[in-house]
Structure 1
């Protein structure tokens, strides 16, 4: 059996003295390695979405190792799980470790090894530099902290990863807690004379309800604790969780309400960075073993807890009182204006002091006979959760699989007036989600005030209306429905705008402007390709044979016939990409001369598979995607794609234009090679990620691109594409 460090089949190992093409203009193997001995390395690549960045970084590390005469085994931690997993024997035999990741990686298995930690972008753009740094990197004595890229300009990435780490652990608590509460109310609630539901004491459903409440109580410290863990590793977990519990327990600092999930975010970051600061304090060697398990957690927990109670708690309590006085001053004026303010407050922190102020204010007025304020609150209470749930349905590509599942749960929770169903989305993307929630809730509550909707019980959501506790039920549903749509549409718009801006920053990061294959890429959560420096595709790899290099330089060149040895199978049974691409969906003679005609022709090409039920709908979906930004990647390649129920299963087509088509490419090179990907909406999760990951790996290989360009017939083209597993 070959060694795990043996270069993969199809690659020709290159020594340090071989002529090589640089990964970047400053990176040449000869200059980097000199007479230094070859390295035996292991590596991990990973990115937050786990799509193409992960695999392209792995490919670049492998190519650079081959060029420099090093051996390397790369474990990829992508969206479909860990692949090419490093064994204990691999690690033991390695001279060093390269971590190219934008998510937390447990370094516990690499104790005693020289470790270089960098971003996944560095793995793509500077792979050889990372490997050479393992010669002088400090030896790790870790027992299991997480990796985080170091260096200038990385702080924003650390903050984002920490936030996403906390959200990913919090979501199960939100979903389980919220659904248990909703189920208990639905199945065990008893309708009251004044309306609403109450679960009788002693009922088994009361215990189910209480268990759900525990889930909600835990979600805030969980969010805080795992934000802290992502920053300061295991010593930060306890202070983060206890700090989150303190933030959510207003009684500890004289407030009628805790600080909610926003307080948890604050305590999570405070705990994480506090632990990092304590770690930098020099201590005697005899005290080092007890620092992470005793000293750091105790000092950080005490410091953070006292700071929150005495420094942050009183301002929070003051905000609570000031907001109550403000709302009291609005009563007797415009009901619509009061409703707008109530809506803004209830959606701002969803369970925090601002939300609780609005709720308790409305509840107190019920005893005075004023039911209208609670009617406003009830109309807006469902909007954050239902609005974000609706957003995950109308723009699935903006959300990952976990968020789409949370969206369905949020719809259910929203029906029962549980606004906390939107917290996972607000915690992950606060700048986009919180304004959308506030706007939708303000609209719903404002309309509720204008319509004179009333609420007789201190609760909200459609369930209260169905139980007879709402006055003006049709207008209540109209107000809540409009608010929900406003939140969903606003959230989708803000998220798409943010993603487009992020894509522009990403594609310009390496050179200061969009270049080569990086310029056409967008970082949405569904069709994401990683930025690749133009030289990687513009020149031949050192591992490519001479004919391949010639083909890369002259795409029309004809390679020897043996390069295209056909598989001994019937043409109709040949396929690539797990059967998504077949001979029927490959053509080397695209007739179209412009983008609209090409999309129609590609849709017809995919129709040959027999799984396209509506070619027109497929074209329209692809055109909508093109309106967001061009799918041209540069260097004559485009990957138009669509998620639509106009296809029954995932299907991929490939077409070549002899004349080239203006696709709005960033390098202005006409597109000659087009891959079209179409997947049903219901399968827009793992399936399209697998297709993209496979394509990304191959498109990063200059040898593959050279063979594809040189293939002159459908059968020869399919032979090349069959390499895409």
Structure 2
């Protein structure tokens, strides 16, 4: 099936004044042509990609693109707009717009076709042809000529290269890597923009590695070894970044390579001749998405924030698995399991099952259950305890990994283990993770003899960094951090009545502020870090955090069912599944609503989260499980208080968001919803 037909083309059309209007209209074309099962789902996917990074490119062109389960055939929809729209391009509003729609999970053939179009959009002759086309047939012919052009497939498969300069000339050899999140368009446009710019220069030899969806073929190691500088134009992490260790580097988001290829090449040439230029560290894993767009240098605050989020994301599986196993241990073995789980698990077996009285530390302890149930409960609980014992070390180790790559993992884990040993808890784990990452990154930049270079990432960096972290914790930071954790634990344990309600309100606001972002994760980390202690205050905090995090998706789902006319078709579609995400404690289910209308959605969600937190803490609801939502009610006490808190918060959020959208309407959303109803 052709990737574009005349029914997918609109010439000199007015599709609205916003990116949402244009993308929705083009998604409607794709759906009308029978190439997508749902126009709203396709539009929602493209708008979500647009929210990550505007898709305007030089030439007053925009290329909104996405992969979606709604797409059945790789498709291009095109509009030449009579009223240009701002897609965030570098030279003003865009009047040429392609919607690039790819099937989710499809093969690479169609991605190669789409990447060919993207590469053509950096050529002025192709853009001129689109702008001067008289009919839809002319557009189809222009696009077909490009995607069927001889030699382009080879170009998409292999690293792009500028012609080598003549021997004897003063040439700077540069290797570039381009990559974007979807790997469909910007990856290849950036590669060709850099390559075309380098072709007109006699002082530069450039090779580009495209790390996209259609293909990735690594640059030859000999070319990398001979390179004088490296350009990373990426919005995602560079694959096998260690290959470029020690090379001067210029780093930026991928769109900068499209908009300012000459400037980036000039910066790479300057870096090659500057002994003090920033270099790729051995094993460094910092993502270029953390790079400040202004000067190509990474922002340290942003890098550290992202590193902590990486640590939290790697820690969560330990928390989820361990916490749920603890909850199952209580369910099977009884709620007095914590009184002697270790003795039961180690002193007994399937052939030597315990009675209801077990010897624990020389004293007989009576349990409510006995036999197989008590033994299996102890085994589950013991397994969960072992998983939970890793959470601080995992947080520290993977925070260090995000800053320094693999050499940071060992000292990060060591620092986390020391934090547990001296009682510094998760605060100590955060400190040691950041410290280990920064120290490992610093040591990785040392200039060492070649004979030592191979030992740096596996021996020298972990050894010296672990030594620094250990000495710092034992001799300097350990006791102050232990004092902070002890004081915090004592304060939480003393909370009751109105003070507990205030804490619940604060936690509820944090969980609903950014729906899975840093603030949400900070509240979740605060709750899970104390769960392994088993004290009542920690379990109440866990229940509050989980209940508040469930409210936004459920509330938005309820609101879309109650007042459909206030929401776009894409939001109505999202509302059909958001309630299930909410019941499962996946706060991110509300992100599409918040991204489309943050001024109305986020305050509404925070109001409901605050109510949920206050009710949960006021009723003393406790949870032994760190995740699972309503599916772990067996681990929540009292369960009815947990459900009451969720219902109260959901009602407040749903009513608030409906009221705000009714009495303070979003004009673009209102127009789109009205158009859908009229259609």
TM-score when normalising by structure 1: 0.45
Please give the TM-score of this superposition, normalised by the length of structure 2: 0.47
Of Structure 1 and Structure 2, which has the larger fraction of its residues in helix? Answer: 2
